[in-house]
């Protein structure tokens, strides 16, 4: 029976990974940050099955303590300030958590149990201004945000501890992955939540930034399986996890509206572009420059060949199924919110 320690357990990926490891018989420990109100986030439904430890990525003592308590055989480092836009507002905090925090966790492992296997949540944001299409494990990096730069440090220190100390450390270079548990500030969930609100008559319009940005979007539930597989191999290595498909933010919005029976046609250009509901003539999508970023990652598309061949990883949830799941979940959540507001 193995022990796993998950940092960022109450986030999107942490919750799906906890479910996966529990189903495989692991004892699952999870790191939570102390907050004024206890918040189990995405693991509230399984909180009784998880052993929580209060710790913070910026506090190495707390991570050493977490390693002592958990006696972890595997650590999955998913904790991060993960919202790219915020990384320009909080560059130092992002660096301390997403870059230095990785060294803190690696040092805690080295001190308490150097045999422990380590997964680092690296990201396609490291490719940034892409140097090749599609991107794979050999594509040079060119990050475009404090988030991307911090994650690049995390990537290299993970590789460095493998080469310097012989630790079993892996980088999963994961492309965007979404789902029903995604934070509402990320574009996909912002779209599916707002589409549900427009459909149910409690919002008029969806305001977005760069509609032309292209992303390779998969479902988080599929991607956490790749994390687990990386730590089960004979040798540690780094892997790209992606779908090999790319779509614009505009495409995502159009498809999400289709899921609630609305046909939206886009017209105009730049900040004047709008999306119109062809049935009513109402403008349901507008561009708001407040959502533009100081530097943009325009195009991401990954090549998952190595993960497919070496790990036997395959995604099971298609893009269409993912949007369907997100929209139907948000329709149910918003309906419940409306009913609750009506009964107060």
With CB under 6 A as the contact rule, the residue among 114, 140, 166, 183 that binds ligand NAP is 183
Strands 74-77 and 117-123: parallel
208 binds ligand F7E (CB under 6 A): yes
Q: How far is the CB of 58 from ligand NAP (least distance, A)?
A: 5
Alpha helices (H) along the chain: 12-23, 60-70, 86-89, 91-95, 101-112, 146-165, 187-199, 220-230, 249-259, 305-306, 319-343
28, 21 contact by CB (below 8 A):
yes
Cβ of residue 190: shortest distance to ligand F7E, in angstroms? 5
Query: Can you tell me which of 50, 97, 213, 331 binds ligand NAP, judged by CB under 6 A?
Result: 97
Q: How distant, in Å, are the alpha carbons of 175, 217, 223 from that of 241?
A: 6, 11, 7
Question: Contact between 14 and ligand NAP (CB under 6 A)?
Answer: yes
Our finding on whether 148 is near ligand NAP (CB under 6 A) is no
- Both tokens of 133, joined, read 């299409």
| Binding of residue 192 to ligand NAP (CB under 6 A) | no
Confirm whether 223 is a catalytic residue.
no
Single out the catalytic residue among 27, 94, 95, 123.
Answer: 123
Strand order in the sheet with 283-287: 206-208, 283-287, 274-277, 264-267
147 carries an active-site annotation: yes
Respond yes or no: is residue 123 known to be catalytic. Answer: yes
Which residue in 174, 177, 87, 165 sits closest to 126, CA to CA? 174
Minimum CB–partner distance for residue 282 and ligand F7E (Å) = 20
Considering beta carbons, is residue 70 or 94 the nearer one to ligand F7E?
A: 94
Q: 243 contacts which partner out of ligand NAP, ligand F7E, none, CB within 5 to 8 A by kind?
A: none
If binding is defined by CB under 6 A, does position 299 make contact with ligand NAP? no
- Contact between 80 and ligand NAP per CB under 6 A: yes
Q: Compute the least distance from the CB of residue 277 to ligand F7E, in Å.
A: 19
- Sole binder of ligand NAP in the list 4, 5, 8, 240 (CB under 6 A): 8
Per-residue H/E/C for 91-122: HHHHHHHHHHHHHHHHHHHHHHCCCCEEEEEE
- Taking the C-alpha atoms of residue 184 and residue 259, their distance in angstroms, rounded to an integer, is 18
SS3 of 60, please? helix
What is the footprint of ligand NAP within residues 33-62 (CB under 6 A)?
33, 41, 56-58
Binding mask 54-83 for ligand F7E (x = CB under 6 A): ----------------------------x-
Question: In angstroms, rounded to a whole number, what is the distance separating the alpha carbons of residues 197 and 188?
Answer: 14
Tell me which residues are annotated as active site: 123, 125, 147
């Amino acid at each position: 029976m193995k022990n796993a320690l998950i940092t960022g357990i109450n986030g999107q990926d942490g919750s799906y990974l906890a479910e996966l490891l529990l189903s495989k018989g692991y004892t699952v420990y999870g790191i939570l940050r102390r907050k004024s109100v206890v918040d189990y986030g995405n693991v509230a439904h399984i909180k009784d099955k998880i052993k929580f430890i209060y710790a913070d990525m910026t506090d190495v003592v707390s991570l050493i303590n977490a390693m002592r308590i958990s006696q972890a055989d595997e650590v999955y480092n998913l904790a991060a300030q993960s919202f790219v836009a915020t990384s320009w507002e909080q560059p130092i905090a992002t660096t301390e958590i997403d870059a230095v925090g990785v060294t803190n966790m690696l040092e805690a492992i080295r001190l308490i149990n150097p045999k422990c296997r380590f997964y680092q949540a690296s990201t396609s944001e490291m490719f940034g201004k892409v140097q090749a299409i599609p991107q794979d494990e050999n594509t040079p990096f060119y990050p475009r945000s404090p988030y991307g730069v911090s994650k690049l440090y995390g990537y290299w220190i993970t590789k460095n501890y493998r080469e310097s100390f012989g630790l079993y450390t892996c980088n999963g270079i994961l492309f965007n992955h979404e789902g029903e548990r995604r934070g509402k500030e990320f574009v996909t969930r912002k779209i599916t939540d707002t589409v549900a609100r427009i459909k149910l008559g409690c919002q008029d319009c969806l305001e977005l930034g760069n509609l032309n940005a292209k992303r390779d979007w998969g479902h988080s539930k599929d991607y956490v399986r790749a994390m687990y597989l990386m730590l089960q191999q004979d040798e540690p290595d780094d892997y790209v996890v992606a779908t090999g498909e790319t779509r614009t933010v505009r495409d995502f919005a159009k498809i999400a509206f289709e899921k609630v029976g609305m046909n939206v046609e886009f017209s105009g250009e730049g900040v004047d572009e709008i999306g119109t509901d062809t049935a009513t003539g109402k403008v349901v999508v507008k561009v708001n420059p407040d959502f533009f970023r100081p530097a943009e990652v325009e195009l991401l598309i990954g090549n998952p060949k190595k993960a497919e061949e070496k790990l036997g990883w395959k995604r099971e949830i298609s893009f269409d199924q993912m949007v369907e799941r997100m929209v139907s979940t948000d329709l149910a959540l918003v309906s419940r919110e409306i009913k609750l507001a009506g009964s107060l």
